[in-house]
Structure 1
Amino acid sequence: MKTGTTIALLYALFAAISTAANLGTQAIVVWLYHGLWAIEISVLAGTATGLPVKYMLEKRHIFEFSAENLAHDSKLFFLYSFLGLFTTAIFWGTELAFHRLFGTDAMRYLGGAIGLTAGYLIKYRLDKRFVFVSKTRAAGAT
C-alpha cells in the first residue's frame, strides 16, 4: 500500500504530465490555427488530450484499479469524465479569465495551470469516493 506522501508525489507527477499534454496541445492548436474561436478550440483540444492521459495514469498508479472488462472501463471513464465537468469548468474559467484580464498567452497558460491544479485537487477526492471504488469497499460502505 502506498503512503499518502507517495500518492501525493505520483499524483503531482501525473498532473504535471497531463498538464504538459494539455497545454502542449493548446500551443500546437494556436500555432496551427489563428481563426475564429482559436483559443476556445485549443482549450477543448487540450482537454481531449490531457483527460485520457490522466485517467490511465491515475487508474493504474494512484488507485491501483483494474477494470473488469472494456465495458466496465468505459463506464469508469464516463463517470471519471462526468465528474470532471465541474473541475474542468474551474480550469477553463480560470484560464479564460486570465486570458481576458491579461491578454497574453503566458498569462493564459498560467491561469490554465492554476485552474488545473485546483481542479485536480478536487478531482482526486471525487475519484477516490465515486469512481475507483472496489466492490468490497463499496459493499462495506452500505
Structure 2
Amino acid sequence: MKLRTLVFRYAVFAVIATLANLGAQRAVLAVRDDGWALMLAIAVGTGVGLVVKYLLDKRWIFLDGSTGARAHGERFSRYTLTGVFTTAIFWGMETVFWMIWQTDLMRELGAVIGLAIGYVVKFQLDKRFVFRPTGPAAAMQTGGAEQVR
C-alpha cells in the first residue's frame, strides 16, 4: 500500500472513530445529568471508538486477514493495551478543556485534539506491537503496513 493511501485511510478512519466516540458521548449525556455523567460518557465513547477503529484498522490499514475468536482476542487485547497511553492523552485533553471552559463545544474540541494526537502515537504502537507479522509471514514481510512504500 502506498504511503498516501495509508495516510488517507488512517485519517478517514480516525474521523469516523472520533465521530462514533463523540456520538456515543452525546447519547450518554442526553440521558444522564448527574455528577458521573461526563466520566460515563467519556468511557462509553472511548469503548465505541475503540471497537470501530480496531475493525477498520485491522482490515483496511494493516490488511490483517486473521479470523477466529483466538486471533481477534489476542489482537484486540494488544490493541486495547496500546490504547491505554493514548487514551490518557485523549481523556486528559478533553477533561482539561472542560475544566477550563466548561462548555460542551470546548470539551469536544479538547477531545478532538486529544484523539488526533493519540491516533498518531497509536499507529506507531499498533504497527510495532499489534499487527506485526508473526511466524512464516514475518520472514516474508507480507501484508499490512509492512508494504508501505
| Same-fold status (TM-score > 0.5) | yes
Q: Which residue of 2 aligns with 1:132?
A: 131
For 2:124, give the aligned amino acid: R
Gaps (5+ residues) in structure 1? none
Superposition pairs of residues 56-135 of structure 1, within 5 angstroms? 56-135=55-134
In 1, Cα distance between the equivalents of 2:140 and 2:9?
27
Which of structures 1 and 2 has the larger relative contact order (alpha carbons within 8 angstroms, sep 6+)? 2
Query: Could you tell me the TM-score, scaled by structure 1's length?
Result: 0.94
By how many angstroms is 1:69 displaced?
A: 2.5
Helix, strand or coil at the partner of 1:134: coil
**Count of residues in correspondence between the two structures:** 140
Range with bigger deviation, 62-71 or 123-132: 62-71
CA RMSD of aligned residues (A): 1.4
Flag as ranges the 4+ runs of structure 1 deviating above 6 A: none
Residues 26-65 of structure 1, C-alpha deviations (whole Å, 9 max, x = no match) = 0111111101211111000101111010000000000001
For 2:7, give the aligned amino acid: A
Q: Which residue of 1 aligns with 2:39?
A: 40
- 2:22 matches 1:29: no
Helix, strand or coil at the partner of 1:36: coil
Query: Could you tell me the TM-score, scaled by structure 2's length?
Result: 0.90
